[in-house]
Amino acid sequence: MTAFLIFSFLTGAVLGQRFRVLVLLPLTFIMVLAAIPVGLLVDLTVLESLKGLAFAAIALQGGYLFGSGARFGLAAARATRIFGRPVKVTR
């Protein structure tokens, strides 16, 4: 379960670097569809499977938030490098 949460967080971070927030809806829906057969294969109860799905969805969204923040942080660092000093207009 921990490995799946880490994978979900890292997937969200990668998606946060490149996509808008609406990409999380189809991905969460795919996770719901995948959680049902995986829960049956691993011999989990429905409640345990749904709990794991909820944690994975939260980790996905947290990773997206982290990746999006990293993208804007890198863009801000790049902008200060390009526009490092203010230009003096008067002498």
Query: Could you read off the pLDDT of 38-79 as tens digits, one per residue?
Result: 888 888 888 888 888 899 999 999 999 999 999 888 888 877
Does residue 57 contact residue 45 with C-beta atoms inside 8 Å? Answer: no
Place of tokens 């490092």: 84
Could you tell me the pLDDT band of residue 87, with boundaries at 50, 70 and 90?
A: low
Counting beta carbons within 10 angstroms of the beta carbon of residue 9, is it exposed (0 to 12), middle (13 to 18) or buried (19 or more)? buried
Residue type, 48: E
pTM of the model: 0.77
Measure the CA–CA gap between 39 and 9, rounded to whole angstroms: 20
Q: Which of 30-34, 45-49, 81-85 has the lowest mean pLDDT?
A: 81-85
DSSP 8-state assignment for residue 45: -
